[in-house]
Structure 1
Amino acid sequence: MRCQFPNPGDTQLTQVIWIFERTDTERSNIAVFHPSYGVSYPSTSPLSGRVSFMTNPPPLYNPSIQIKDVKMTDEGRYICEYASYPSGNEQGISLLVMLAKPRNTARSVSVTASKTPVVVAHCESFGGRPAAAISWSTALNGNVSTPVMTNTQDNTVNVQSTYMLAPQAEDNGKDISCTVTHRTMSQPEVFQMKLVVEYPPVVQIRGYDNNWYKGRTSAFLICQADGNPVPTTVTWKTLSGLMPETVQVQENRLAVQNVDDTINTTFICEVRNSLGYGRDQVTIVVKEQAPPNTNAGVIVGVIFACLLVVLLIGGLTYFLISHNRRQQHGYRGTGKPTGTPYDSITRLFGSAKSSKNGTGNNGNNNTPIYRGEVGINEKSANQGMHPGGMALLETTHTHTAEDILLSREMDEVERKKFDELEEEDERYDHFTGGGPILQLRPHDDDIDDDMESQRDGSVISRTAVYV
């Protein structure tokens, strides 16, 4: 404790006394210094043997003291008082505050379910200075008791708090927490707890679905029980006192191998623990026959299958219509057919000169034609004239492997011709007339230039035909 009298001036300092004041009514001298008589430490002081001046002897203008082995009882006011002349006594006061970190504990209390509120949890703080603060956190509908504080001989404080509740069976195992806050702790101390509520068994029988009929097999009842302490005994009974022969008891499970008229009874399940017992019962009504099976599943399956078939038919129809339209449009810009394959094996033959002279086209573009290859002799023998002016051709020649290979060599040449005519093809692709159009594109050269000799002596036309 520091004490100074700076710049005394004309004031004469004659003596200094340290006084300890624990309460307003309890004062004692703990250290005295007189320049002529020296230092004195009264033996009756509560700090005797633990207090001393910083220097020995101390200067009158700075008689500071020190205390060792500080105790909680050392808390109080320390007064440094000067005896001076001519002003009289002068004093300065220092306040010593002692802090003590408490020891905190919490615990739940095992209780029995009841309608009367009882203490279900304790929370305590021991030896704190100043007193600790205690709070509770829980979803339970209970009450916190008024904290009790007691002072100890070493000037610390004990705080006790309890939580009260009318415990029910459903409260067992629920969470509750206690929080202790104190000035000496960097953060509050939290205690997590679970309530312990003991109660007799609560019993319920499950498994009966109101559909027990004669001849039914593998029917069963389950006795479900909940209690604290854990139930130890399960007993099955019937209201008549006799257990049917077709029934097997397996602890909490009652199995019926075959349902008959003897099952028309009331089954009772009793469960016990150390606090008592609980029971439940169910009355079985056996029906004469099983309920009719519903065809809901079959109907749903049939509907689903019909929808699937409709979707498949719709998709197939769309594909066929689209395919047919591509066949009617004929060749695209790629030079390959979109419908029926077209290659050098199958060609279209027509009279180029007739087209040039105007005798081969009388305005009827719907004239049928026959695909094939004919020789020169066959042409003169078999060619007839359609009323529309277009030659009707029949195929009488049987193609050989050599013919096919030679004719395929012409594919690339024809594809290139179709590529050059791509823009003009669009007009025929988008034709919207009343029927299919047969359009012959004659070469600018004579018919002889249009014909192409084959290895078998026949000739074919290289004229492109569009439909």
Structure 2
Amino acid sequence: HPRRPVVPAPPLPAAPLGGPRTTPRPRRAGVVEVQRSVTAVLGQDVVLPCRYRAQEQEHVVQVTWLKRGPAGRSAEVAVLNREHGEHVQEPYAGRVLRRAAGPLEDGAIVLRNAVQGDEGDYECHLITFPMGSFEGRLTLKVLVPPLPILNPGPPLEEGQGRTLAASCTAEGSPVPSVRWETDVRGTNATRRSAHARSASVTSEFFLVPGRSMNGKSLTCVVEHPGLSHEKRITHLLSVAYLSDASVLGHTEEWQEGMEGAALTCLGDGNPPPTYNWTRLDAPLPAGVRVKGDTLIFQRPLAAADAGDYICRVSNRVAAKEARANVSIRSRAADDEVRKVDLVSASVVVVGVIAAVLLCVLVVVVVVMTLYHKRKTKRISEKYEEELTLTRENSIRRLHSSHSTDTRTQLEETLQLRAESRQGSLRGDSLRGDSLRGTSICSAMSEEPEGRSYSTLSTVREIETQTEVPAAPPGKEPKEEEEEGGGGGGGEDPIKQAMTHFVQENGMLQAKPTTNGIYINGRGHLV
């Protein structure tokens, strides 16, 4: 707060006796503008501001900067005078100067190359005319940015347990913060320690070494108010390891006379391993050269090159071996194999052709069977259709040609049966007539055994039965008269039966009638 000096007031003029007395009004003073706290970075310049806002007819005559000590004592830093210029005390010579020339209303100074000893409370005293002296106070804080250091841990080897990978230390004021950025899985531990004017932080990163971590980055990140941006220190992990060994290159196609044969030993490690080729129970054959991890046969293969080849891979971590059993086929065996292959291929081809022909034959048989079935079906349908048409036509002809009454036809049938019975009543001389009547009746109906007579055989029987020997005189005429009288007409029953037939093309066929009977499968109607 500005401290206003007590300035004695000028003596008041004596008032006339009997008149009023007046008191002068005090003038208003200006304002000191300072910051309560100023921060500086170690080694950089910092401005200590002090500005006075003057009133009319008021100006600053002198500005004095003081630094308060630990015991409350103040030490002069610099004096800025309007007439005599600047004066800097010895401890600050060359490090303190006025920020801008001109009126002393701006009494700020510049403190160059700030150090931690510059921290503390500063006072700015201003002497103005005519209002007297004023003062302002501020606190200077000097930041000490950290200088992080990353220290790698002991050598890492695959198979170790939890091991220190690296540690990162940062010291500054105020206390910095330290963290890790990495793709490697691990844990960290942090410890702090305080000093007189600063504090340090140490962070350690632990992991379980593995070959997948080799070459991965481990970054220490430090943050601090005195740093314009984060500070990062990156460390590449190095994990020593040795992978399993294996041999590549040998196949079953190796044979005598083959050129360009080679065996390659596969093995990876850190540090890079060395390779050594040997042969089990025998030295390496002549004409073989070792080039790094590869064993090269510089000549055509021979039967003596067969055997067990051993590749040894080693580095400072470990040593491992891999074995390859090399077999070489002879040309004679290869020719036999080729012949067998040709025979097998021929058999396979013949089998395939036979299978194809069999399939074709089966297809042809199936197609022909289906074709014949369809053709037979069409013929049967056509035959049935024609037979149906024939029967329909026969029925139409029967209905069209027959105009007699059903009763008349029935009477004719009964008369025929009666005449047959009448002929059967005759004696031995008339047994032929009886046989004739029986033959006619049998011709008009099917026998129980399913036999039938044709029209022609029936007619022949009738003709044979007509030739009957003459009866003795005196009896035959009488019996015929009796028969004629009993029959009512005296006609021969054979002639009456013949009225039901018609002769066409030298054959007798039954006349169509509605009550006719089929006597055989050919459709003859009686």
TM-score of the aligned structures, taking structure 2 as reference length: 0.38
Higher fraction of helix:
2
Higher Cα radius of gyration: 2
Higher fraction of strand:
1
TM-score of the aligned structures, taking structure 1 as reference length: 0.42
